[in-house]
Amino acid sequence: MKKDITTLSKEEIKSFCANNDIRSFVSSQVYSWIWNKSCSSFSDMSNVSLEDRSKFDKEFFINSLDVDVEEESSDGTIKTKFKLHDGNFVEGVLIPKNKRMTACISSQVGCSLSCSFCATGTLGLTRNLSASEIYRQVVYILKKCLEVHNQPLTNIVFMGMGEPLLNYKNVLRSIHFITSEEGLNMSYKRITLSTSGISKMIRKLADDNVKVNLALSLHAANEELRKKIMPIGKSNTLEEIRDSLKYYFSKTKKKVTYEYVLLRDVNDSIEDAYQLYKYTKHLSSKVNIIEYNAVEGLEFQKSSFEKTEKFIGYLLKKGVNVSLRRSRGKDINAACGQLANKN
C-alpha cells in the first residue's frame, strides 16, 4: 500500500530522495508543492522531472480532501462536507460577518466525548484527522473566501467536529503549516482553539508555547451539572481546569475565553450565572454566551429570550466582559454543535 507523503518531514523526504537517486533539491520542491501549493497529485508538480514524479508516485499518495456537498445558508454561511481518502467525511464552515471571515474547521471524524447537547458527540469517534486533512480544510475555505468575498480569512477556529486537544500532535502540526512560511503564513493571533477542558493537555499547550487563543467550553460552573452534560468533567474537575488555565495564562499571557451555551432550564438560572461569575472572575477573561442550536433527537432547547436577557444582564452588572454569540448557518445545520455529516 502507498504511504501518505504528508506525514513525512522535510528530512524524511530528503532521505527518500537520497535513497532513490533523486537530486536533493527536488525534496524541497516536492515539499513546497505539498504544503505551500497544496497540490494533490504528483502529476501536477511541473518543475519535477517525469522520472522523479513517478518514483514518488510508486511509493506515496498525497492525503487531500474532496468536496462532497456544499450548502449556503441564507445568512451567507457556507458549509462544506469534505470526503476523506478513506471514505470518511468531515465538515468545515465559512462564516462571514461584516469584514470578519471565520473558518470553522474539524479536527476529528466524530468525537469521543459525548457531550449530551452536541450533534458531533452522538457520532462517537471514528478517527483523528491528519495534519494535512486539517490544514487543507483551511486552504479550501480560504480559497472559497477569496472567490466569494474577495478577501482572505481573518480568523480560524477549531470549533468544528472533534476535540482538538485529543488530536494534539496533528493539530499542532496543522497550526505550524497555517502559521509558517512553509504554508499559509498567517498569524497565531488569528487562531482560536476550543476545548472541552482537558487540563493535562492545556498545560502541555502552555509548555509548548503555542500562542493561540484558547476557548474553554464551560457550559456549567457547577461540578455536578457539568459532569452530567459533559462526561469529560468527571476526569477533569472545575478546579483542575481552572488551575491549568491559570498556568496557560502565566506562560503565554493570553487571555482565555469561556464559552457557555445557554440550555433552557438546565444552566440558565441566576444561580447558574452567579456560579459562572464566581468561576471566571479569577482570570481576566471574556465570556461568550452561545445561543443553543437544536439538534434532532436531543431533548435540549435554547433558553428563552427573557431568561437569556436576565442571565446576561446579571453578568454585566457583576462587571463580567460578556457577549452573546448568535447562531449562524442554522438552516443548513452549520452552526456550532450541529455538525454531524447529515444528508
Q: Which stretch binds ligand SF4 (CB under 6 A): 20-28, 37-45, 85-93, 114-122?
A: 114-122
Count of residues making up the chain: 343
Residue of 115, 276, 287, 334 that binds ligand SF4 (CB under 6 A) = 115
Residue 122 DSSP one-character state:
G
Is 91 a binder of ligand SAH (CB under 6 A)? Answer: no
Is 268 a binder of ligand SAH (CB under 6 A)? Answer: no
Dihedral sign from CA coordinates of 338, 163, 198, 157: negative
Residue of 117, 140, 279, 311 that binds ligand SAH (CB under 6 A) = 117
E strand residue ranges, 73-163: 78-83, 89-97, 100-104, 108-110, 125-128, 155-158
Residue linked to cell 480559497: 143
First vs last C-alpha separation in the chain? 31
User: Pattern of binders to ligand SF4 over 169-198, x per CB under 6 A?
Assistant: ---------------------------x--
Q: Which stretch binds ligand SF4 (CB under 6 A): 73-81, 112-120, 262-270, 294-302?
A: 112-120
Q: Which is nearer to ligand SAH, 63 or 195 (CB)?
A: 195
Is 118 a binder of ligand SF4 (CB under 6 A)? Answer: yes
Residue 228 DSSP one-character state:
H
Judge contact between 33 and 89, C-beta under 8 A. no
Residues in 118-157 that interact with ligand SAH by CB under 6 A? 118
Amino acid at the residue 131: A
By three-state DSSP, how is residue 338 classified?
coil
Q: Which stretch binds ligand SAH (CB under 6 A): 23-31, 94-102, 142-150, 290-298?
A: 290-298
Q: Applying CB under 6 A, which residues contact ligand SF4? A: 111, 113-115, 118, 120-121, 162-163, 196, 217, 337
